[in-house]
Chains A and B, each alone.
Chain A
Amino acid sequence: MTGLLDAQEVSVRYGSLAALDGVDLCVHDGQRHALIGPNGAGKSTLLDVLGGSTRPQRGTVRFAGRDIGRLGPAGRARRGINRIHQRPAVFATLTAAENVVVAALPRVIPRRRWWPAGRRRAAQQLAGPLLEQMGLTAVAAVPAGHLAHGQRRQLEIAMALAGRPRLLLLDEPAAGLSAVEVGRLVELLQALPRAVAVLLVEHRLDLVYALSDTVTVLRDGRTLAAGTPDEIRTSPLVRQAYADGVA
């Protein structure tokens, strides 16, 4: 069965280290798919491959029925794959609102609009609803470089959403967030329209179980198990892997 995103036999080597070794991953339309595994399992590397910033030595990636292996990050974002990075990446000298506007430009704001941020008000109109969802309204006019870590992460999520994604790649979105911020994030992800599929890398298993309908477990660059959250929770193999991986 083919899905929205279909990665097959993906392998990435760094020198003698196999970061990914023949991984298959399929994300269906509207699916909430979690990717878990111990440190160094290859989760971020897999997101890099799917997002186009790392070229795998082997394997294919198809999105919406097309081979996108030759597209870079920009081309994939234009087709609807948006991501946030494990270390929040924002435009430090631009205001929070401008950050969202820049992220929205390629897919959302028609070319004729030359002045999206020419005036503060226009930018805030565009970015306002998203910033509000992320609880960033008060800092809309603050340069992103001045924001606290958690706020920067939330800003990057707002930016990813601003691109109107069909597939959202989230690399540890809850890391570094306060309890309140995590609550808001969970709410936001649960409220996402079903037209958006999510691939979530997250270490906090409570969030994984709350947010996902499918879980894939990676370890040492290989798929260890895949299934529903319940299956994964009770799998002795997975418990064993985690015990080894974190000890």
Chain B
Amino acid sequence: MSGEVIRRARGAVAALVLVGLVVAPWVVDDYTTALLARTLALALVGVSVALLTGVAGMPTLGQTAPYAAGAYACAVVGSRVSDVGVVQLVVAAGAGALLAALIVPLVVHARGVIVLMITLAIGELVVVVLGRWRSVTGGTDGLAGVPAVRPFWGLPALASDQGRYLYALVVVATLVGAVLVLLRTRAGLVLRAGRDDETRLRASGHRVAVHLSGAHIAAGAIAGAAGSVLVVAQQYISPADFGFDTSALLLLGVVIGGTASVGGALVGAALVIAVRDWLFGVLPGHAPLVLGALFVATVYLLPTGVNRARSRLSEAAAPQPDPPAAQERATVGEVGR
């Protein structure tokens, strides 16, 4: 079957990319390595955006909020409590999940553009709080000099860019793997069903609000963990890392990648971030403009993303289901007989 071939090819590509990512720090310079590590963190946030936008059907511009919560929690814990990576990760994921849980009542009953607006507002609010709450966050200066992380008790601290990059890679790959597994459980199945038709899901006895809350909190935990990866990669964070441009870029990346696909989200987010970083170099000051144009072009040309565009093409080749309304009404006339 061709489906099997495609699946194999996709697996092979994923494996190749993974190998490339593992050897990358020995091929590129330290600066690029650090940049790659940061991109990994953002790609992981992209996965959480995809989980909400594509899988659960809640488009979001606010995943920078749990991302920031995780990053600051990790930075504070890393500076004052523990340099053990696992501890920092758990704390960061917990902080992201907690913030997401607090937001749940605001978003769980809203849909579509309303969710976008609410989450956008929350993301901006978090940036303001980060700038004002100086005693904890260092204000607009941010938090610098977070000690190098040691992945696990008894292991040495990661002093090199390569080491920190590999740590980021292991964490991101593990979490992405966990998300892929999660999507194959009943939870993933029900989420996809809810995106297709919430009314039907309710009529089958599913508590849709509970599912959506769970998805929102899980996505918050993932974004929080990504925040911890960012701290490890940069050893420095400031509110500028969590601004609106980041949310917009992530949503753009996820849309480009095809919202419902985790792999697509990874590729899309990484691509968009890479383009931004590259543009910063060649077109100083104009990067937002170019990205804005890219955003408009993407939304215009690919309203459902690359993946959907492809499946739409294959759908066009397949026989179309007949329109329901005509047939349904056809039997109505028999009443009078």
Contact = CB atoms under 8 A, between A and B. Distances in A.
Interface of A: 36, 38-39, 51, 53, 72-75, 77-78, 82-83, 85-94, 98-99, 101-103, 105-107, 109, 113-118, 145-150, 152, 156, 159, 163, 172, 174-176, 203-205, 242-243, 245-247
A203 B329 CA distance: 10
- For the complex of A and B, the 3 pairs showing the least CB-CB separation, nearest first, are A77-B205, A106-B205, A246-B336
A245 B335 contact: yes
B200 to A, nearest CB: 4
Given A148-B321, A175-B327, A176-B328, A91 B196 contact: yes
A89 B199 contact: yes
Contacts of B200: 85, 89-91, 156, 159
Interface size class, chain B: 35 or more
B331 A176 contact: yes
Contact of A91 (B186, B193, B330, B333): B193
Contacts of B337: 205
20 contacts: A53-B202, A72-B202, A74-B205, A82-B204, A85-B203, A90-B196, A91-B196, A94-B192, A101-B189, A102-B189, A102-B190, A102-B193, A106-B204, A106-B205, A114-B186, A145-B321, A149-B322, A159-B200, A159-B204, A175-B328
A89 B197 contact: yes
A88 B324 contact: yes
B196 A148 contact: no
Looking at chain B's contact residues, the main secondary structure is helix
A192 B54 CA distance: 39
Contact of B202 (A73, A114, A174, A246): A73
A87 B328 contact: yes
B336 A243 contact: yes
The interface residues of chain A, by DSSP majority, are classed as: loop
Contacts of B286: none
A86 B324 CA distance: 11
Contacts of A105: 186, 190, 204-206
Interface string B94-131: 00000000000000000000000000000000000000
Contacts of A88: 324
B330 to A, nearest CB: 8
A113 B331 contact: no
A38 to B, nearest CB: 6
A73 B207 CA distance: 9
B168 to A, nearest CB: 29
Given A116-B189, A148-B321, A82 B203 contact: yes
Nearest to B194: A91
A44 to B, nearest CB: 12
Contacts of B321: 145-149, 152
Given A102-B190, A102-B201, A149-B322, 19 more contacts: A73-B199, A75-B205, A88-B324, A94-B189, A94-B192, A101-B189, A103-B204, A105-B186, A105-B204, A116-B189, A146-B318, A146-B321, A148-B322, A150-B327, A163-B204, A163-B205, A175-B327, A176-B328, A176-B331
A116 B332 contact: no
Nearest to A114: B185
